Structure 1
Amino acid sequence: MPDMLDRAMGALVGGALGDALGMPTQLLSPARIAELHGHVEDFIAPFADHPVSKGLLAGTITDDTEQALLLGRILVESGERFDHARWVNALLDWEREVKARGSYDLLGPSTKRAIDAINNGVPAEEAGRGGDTNGAAMRIAPVGIMMPLEPLDTFVAKVAETCRATHNTSIAIASAAAVAAAVSRGVAGGDWRAASDSAVAAARRGATLGHWVTGGDIAARIVWAQDLVRGKVTRDAIRLITDLVGTGVASQESVPAAFAVLEVADGDPWQAAVISANLGGDTDTIGAIAAGMAGACTGFSRLPQQHVARLKGIDMVDVRVLAADLVAARVARAGSGKDAAA
């Protein structure tokens, strides 16, 4: 239990590090990042007219971390069966809260479309049928903490259940399944290479669920992206990820990119965050995913505590309580011998 809790905390707080480091560089090109900030290696404030992050302090988390923590709490409160209505209402309440704080519309395109559809009377089971971007993958880590990886069908079914209202497509479920599987393998004691292997297997299974949409196969692209950068120096790897893998919000770009980052960083959470912050594009989400997976494989105790202490917008006491609740649910599920997703 103590090691499992440490790795659960590593996943959540590692994700926050990647999110916060990528916050000021999101939506910028690599050239613009270099022009404004040089090579980003520490928390920095965004430039004054940043289209999304302006006004935020260095080290501030964004929607990636906030939605992951929100999903984690809904998972704990839902018990055996995921409460779609509670989840959708929680997202709506969260969006109103961040707008009240002076932030911007932070719901991603797939989530926003789905919630608009639900508000117009579309059942939650149908609202997410067009959601193919990375919103599900960016916040899925709590499922990986809560769910044992085996049996794999049960694991992926739980991932798909949490995706249904906003990202009920083959490509989004495959992406979320890959990230959740990497986290789950890490929480169970696996290293980042084992986590990558588990991710590929889960992505293959996830691709068979949800509404089929066109796009590159996530499992194949994860393997390809990691092979592409293996053995490359960081500067060359960043160029390959940016030019060939892609760093946009599309699942088939940002999720394989995060696994490529994990490869280049050799599983180090802080290095994963640094590499992601310099990619350009959806840097905060790629960083949250990559550093979160790495954190699950190393544990909170091996995160750079000097940087953890400077995170803003996150309550570590609340995170530890959530991590403990998710681990307790995992242990209870494993002990009960359940063989079907609730």
Structure 2
Amino acid sequence: MTDDIHDSVYGCLVGGAIGDALGATVEGWSHENIAAEYGAVDEFGAYDNPHAEGEPGSITDDTVMCHYLCLSIVENGGRITPREYADTLERFLDTDRVWVPEELMAKKLAAGMNPWRTGRGTVSAGTAMMSIAPIGVINAGNPRQAYQDGYNLAAINQDGIEQDAAATVAAGIATAIEPESSVDDVVETIVEYSPDILHRAIDLSLGLAVESNDVSSFRERFYDELLDWRWPAVKWGRAQYYDGQVFSASSIESLPAAVGLLSLCGTTADRALVEAASFGRDSDTIGALVGYVVGAVHGASELDESWKATCTDVNQEFFDDFPDDVDVGFEAMSDRLVTALERERDRAAERRQQLDLMLQ
């Protein structure tokens, strides 16, 4: 509901990072275990993750991949192709900070494979969806184009329903960046652009949200009715099994959960982030998805100041990995994305002039 594009884009990036870092504390836990240990996850905590620092407030691969994508967009001055994204990744990707699909992607790219196809046959997980928000930003106000670009870019590390989910999220973020947009507007766009079985899963989740009327009841029913049982167990830490259930990192579970939470509590940004992190399961991805949306809609100015400060300070080491002449960081990157949007506006004006000449 902010009309400040800088506040919206910064909110999207830092909101996603906050949700990621909050949720990382309890990734793979059940909501019962979270409630017993924390009540609710409303502050950053240390966590055990082989692909992240684990310090309170530190980001996981969700946000790491998001910022590689941001960097590719700003380096190319606007919308990008998988080839341009691959060029950025081949120069900057730290494979110690990412998970199996991206490790496989890096090896395929190094072997000379076409980046439009390196996601085929990989581990099915939400690793494209969790980082695709910048594609929505650079297509602000144009969810149709955001969907197409998101689908193409997701092909670098995912396929199938995971590619669909990434495109759907990109479309939602394109709406979230629009001035005076609401969370309901974003949910409506996500529903409109979600295809096939993903659409059905989101519809079922929203139905549970309407019937539940509160987050606690929704969470209980989601666990009973909509968990993804197809996915293999993750073989590390407390995320492997709990109460006989398998921890899933698939978009078919995480995106519907995030959309249900947005519909129930997305009008208050900080509360939505806490509820997302406290949902359990793939809580860092659910937190990131909710954070991207509420940050974009409400703006960074509506997010908890201590969360923003901690997340910025703790993750400076990640941004220090970039060359000295590359201006990065959550706020700096958001400013550069707005500049890229300005270039997209100029290109659109040039395109209109070309069409005027051809059609006169």
Q: Does 1:308 align with 2:308?
A: yes
TM-score, normalised by the number of residues in structure 1: 0.81
> Residues 142 and 174 of structure 2 are in contact (CA less than 8 Å); yes or no, is this contact kept in structure 1?
no
CA separation of 1:151 and 1:81: change in aligned 2, threshold 3 A: closer
Q: What letter corresponds to residue 134 of structure 2 in structure 1?
A: P
Residue number among 113, 120, 125 corresponding to 1:129 in the alignment: 120
Structure 2 segments unaligned to the other structure (5+ residues): 228-246, 317-328, 355-360
Structure 1 segments unaligned to the other structure (5+ residues): 100-105, 208-216
Deviations 1:64-116 (A, max 9, x none): 122112101102223466353553354455553x73xxxxxx43343333333
Counterpart Cα distance in 1 of 2:21 and 2:255? 18
Shift of 1:120: 3.7
Counterpart Cα distance in 1 of 2:104 and 2:52? 25
Q: Does 1:60 align with 2:51?
A: no
Shift of 1:149: 4.2
Deviations 1:158-201 (A, max 9, x none): 1122112212x341232112211221111112101111111122
Shift of 1:284: 0.7
Correspondence for 1:15: 16
Q: What letter corresponds to residue 222 of structure 1 in structure 2?
A: I
Correspondence for 1:141: 133
> Residues 9 and 296 of structure 2 are in contact (CA less than 8 Å); yes or no, is this contact kept in structure 1?
yes
* Residues 161-172 of structure 1 aligned to structure 2 (within 5 Å): 161-167=152-158, 169-172=159-162
Correspondence for 1:112: 103
Counterpart Cα distance in 2 of 1:120 and 1:59? 35
CA separation of 1:221 and 1:335: change in aligned 2, threshold 3 A: farther
> Residues 65 and 139 of structure 1 are in contact (CA less than 8 Å); yes or no, is this contact kept in structure 2?
yes
Correspondence for 2:239: none
Correspondence for 2:244: none
Q: What letter corresponds to residue 301 of structure 1 in structure 2?
A: S
Q: What letter corresponds to residue 214 of structure 2 in structure 1?
A: V
> Residues 248 and 281 of structure 1 are in contact (CA less than 8 Å); yes or no, is this contact kept in structure 2?
yes
Counterpart Cα distance in 1 of 2:77 and 2:306? 36
> Residues 74 and 83 of structure 1 are in contact (CA less than 8 Å); yes or no, is this contact kept in structure 2?
no
Deviations 1:119-176 (A, max 9, x none): 3443223221224421111111111111144372x33221122112212x34123211
Q: What letter corresponds to residue 313 of structure 1 in structure 2?
A: N
Report the RMSD for the aligned CA atoms in angstroms.
Answer: 2.8
TM-score, normalised by the number of residues in structure 2: 0.78
CA separation of 1:334 and 1:306: change in aligned 2, threshold 3 A: farther
CA separation of 1:291 and 1:55: change in aligned 2, threshold 3 A: closer
CA separation of 1:285 and 1:333: change in aligned 2, threshold 3 A: farther
Counterpart Cα distance in 2 of 1:199 and 1:133? 19
Counterpart Cα distance in 1 of 2:215 and 2:264? 7
**Identical aligned pairs, as a percentage?**
25
CA separation of 1:38 and 1:324: change in aligned 2, threshold 3 A: same
Correspondence for 2:225: 244
CA separation of 1:114 and 1:37: change in aligned 2, threshold 3 A: same
> Residues 13 and 308 of structure 1 are in contact (CA less than 8 Å); yes or no, is this contact kept in structure 2?
yes
Q: What letter corresponds to residue 57 of structure 2 in structure 1?
A: G
